[in-house]
């Protein structure tokens, strides 16, 4: 039986942030809501509970009211994006989690994106539904209403706020002909904020522009958007997917509603679960996810084995495998398999992959054993006990160009770890067997303050 926890409060500075939890899964998923929210009254919408229940099958789901809305404290003036990032941090501290999945909806998308870029170690996956990078249109971003149009919309919305008759046309138009649903939405509006607070919120939102932040989002990202979203056009989701490195886009034809808990909820939940866990209920085939793939190889292993003898070589390989397994795990990676004189591993972040590789290299060098390594980030297919895909082949080909003691990475990895303290030296352009075009490769030269 679906049953959320009682409402609790986390302290974000001097503000109390109301939140609930649903489910007891091994993953913490925090839903960052949009403009219309009151976490207790939302349960009056059956589709909302259906959505949360679906997510709760694989995660502990956290819902909350952002500062300035619903059951959370009002601040002086409109809460900034920084304050709303603090809302998330406060909840994570209160529930005792150090890393979570962030699911943003509408206005929650720029907040979640900024949090993921600022605190990448706290976010394992980022999911954006019906989102945007900027709230108003400007040159180079024509996908939303102009500022003047948005101000006019704000005034019209404020005049009708609390009736449900206008806002529902954008947020939940599939329920427009259902009088009971309109009345529920009217109550939700009133419980979210007052008309004056709505105006303040709109003006604050008109300052939202996270376009410069998007290239700095380094966590696996899934962008979900409805093709006929009545409030935020699809071009906004397409922009997010283009500008967040390696983000994946799924477009739905199921409805015109802007809110996530409408349309084909089962499909949306399955897509989220597949992205986060690598599987869905009833899935029997491999699933594709974004990962950083690492291949390592002991240099001149055959001649080294001949030099020291079989017994000593087996002991050395055992030390090597144990070192790799512990180091990969410590950096939240997954050791897929050993290859006799090397390893294949995957990571959900390229920075952690590089750090793990450098530790393995240093450890094995202390035994007088040089290794070489290659890393590439891309989409892989998860198989029972193995991984597959072009990204796996690419990482192997990158490694093949490395010399003894060298760690090489592809341009994708280089771009994703920009600003991470790694000194990456251009190695040159290489034709990699079986892969199109020439590849720019970079050597990890120095590790700075990692």
pLDDT tens digits for 331-354?
A: 878 899 988 788 999 987 788 899
Q: What is the pLDDT along the chain (450 residues), one digit of tens a residue?
A: 567 889 999 998 888 999 999 998 889 999 999 989 999 999 999 899 999 999 999 999 999 999 888 999 986 566 677 788 889 999 999 999 999 999 999 999 999 998 888 888 899 999 999 999 999 999 999 999 999 999 999 999 999 999 988 888 889 898 888 899 899 999 999 999 999 988 988 888 888 888 888 988 889 999 999 999 999 999 999 999 999 999 999 999 988 999 999 989 999 999 999 999 874 443 333 455 668 899 999 887 777 777 777 787 788 788 888 899 999 998 878 899 988 788 999 987 788 899 999 999 998 888 788 899 999 988 788 887 888 888 899 999 999 999 999 999 998 888 887 766 788 999 999 999 888 889 999 999 854 444
Rounded CA-CA distance 14/360 in Å is 45
CB atoms < 10 A from the CB of 138, how many? 12
Give me the pLDDT at residue 77, please.
60
- Residues 193-213 have pLDDT tens digits of 999 988 988 888 888 888 888
What's the pLDDT at 369? 83
Mean pLDDT, all residues of the chain? 88
Walk across the sheet containing 27-32 and list its strands.
8-12, 15-22, 59-64, 27-32, 100-105, 123-129, 221-226, 248-252
For the chain, what are the domain ranges? Answer: 8-277, 287-447
Q: Which residue in this structure is represented by tokens 């694989």?
A: 58
The confidence score (pLDDT) of residue 277 equals 87
Q: Give the pLDDT confidence score for residue 419 in this predicted structure.
A: 62
User: Quick one: pLDDT at residue 300?
Assistant: 78
Residues 99 and 254: their CA atoms lie apart, in Å, by 32
Residue 106 CA to residue 232 CA, distance in Å, equals 8
Please count the other Cβ atoms lying within 10 Å of the Cβ belonging to residue 384.
Answer: 5
Of the candidate CATH numbers 2.30.40.10, 2.40.160.20, 3.40.50.1820, 3.40.50.300, the domain formed by 8-277 belongs to 3.40.50.1820
Helices 310-330 and 301-308 cross at an angle (nearest 10°) of: 130
Task: Supply the pLDDT for residue 76.
Answer: 58
**pLDDT tens, 225-284?**
999 999 999 999 999 999 999 999 999 998 899 999 998 999 999 999 999 987 444 333
Q: Does domain 287-447 have CATH number 3.30.70.1230?
A: yes
Would you say 10 and 91 are in contact if contact means Cβ atoms under 8 Å apart? yes
What pLDDT score was predicted for residue 272?
Answer: 95
């Amino acid at each position: 039986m679906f049953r959320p926890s009682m409402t609790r409060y986390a302290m974000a500075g001097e503000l109390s942030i109301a939140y609930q939890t649903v489910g007891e899964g091994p993953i913490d998923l925090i839903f960052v809501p949009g403009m219309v929210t009151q976490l207790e009254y939302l349960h009056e919408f059956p589709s909302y509970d259906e959505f949360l229940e679906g997510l709760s099958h694989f995660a502990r789901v956290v819902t909350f009211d952002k500062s300035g809305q619903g059951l959370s404290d009002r601040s002086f003036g409109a809460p900034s994006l920084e304050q709303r990032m603090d809302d998330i941090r406060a909840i994570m501290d209160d529930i005792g989690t150090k890393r979570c999945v962030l699911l943003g909806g509408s206005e929650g998308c720029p907040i979640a994106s900024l949090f993921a870029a600022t605190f990448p170690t706290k976010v394992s996956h980022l999911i954006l539904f019906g989102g945007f990078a900027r709230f108003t249109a400007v040159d180079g971003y024509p996908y939303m209403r102009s500022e003047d149009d948005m101000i006019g919309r704000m005034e019209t919305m404020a005049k009708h706020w609390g009736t449900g008759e206008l806002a529902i046309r954008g947020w939940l138009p599939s329920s427009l002909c259902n009088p009971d649903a309109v009345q529920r939405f009217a109550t939700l509006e009133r419980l979210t904020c007052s008309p004056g607070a709505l105006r303040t919120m709109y003006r604050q939102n008109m300052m939202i522009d996270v376009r410069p932040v998007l290239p700095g989002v380094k966590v696996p990202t899934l962008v979900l958007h409805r093709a006929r979203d009545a409030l935020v056009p699809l071009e906004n989701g397409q922009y997010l997917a283009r500008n967040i490195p390696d983000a994946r886009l799924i477009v739905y034809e199921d409805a015109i509603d802007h809110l996530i808990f409408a349309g084909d909820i089962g499909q949306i939940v399955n897509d989220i679960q597949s992205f986060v866990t690598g599987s869905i209920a009833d899935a029997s085939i491999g699933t594709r996810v974004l990962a950083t793939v690492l291949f390592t190889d002991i240099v001149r292993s055959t001649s080294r084995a001949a030099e020291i003898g079989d017994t000593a070589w087996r002991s050395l390989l055992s030390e090597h495998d144990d070192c790799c397994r512990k180091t990969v795990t410590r950096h939240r990676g997954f050791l897929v398999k050993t290859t006799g004189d090397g390893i294949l591993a995957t990571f959900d972040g390229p920075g952690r992959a590089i750090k793990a590789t450098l530790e393995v290299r240093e450890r094995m060098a202390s035994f007088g054993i040089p290794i070489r390594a290659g890393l590439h980030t891309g989409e892989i297919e998860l198989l029972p006990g193995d991984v597959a895909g072009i990204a796996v082949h690419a990482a192997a080909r990158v490694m093949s160009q490395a010399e003894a003691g060298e760690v090489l990475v592809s341009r994708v990895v280089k771009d994703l770890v920009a600003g991470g303290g790694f000194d990456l030296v251009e190695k040159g352009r290489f034709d990699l067997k079986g892969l199109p075009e020439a590849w720019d490769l970079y050597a990890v030269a120095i590790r700075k303050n990692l």
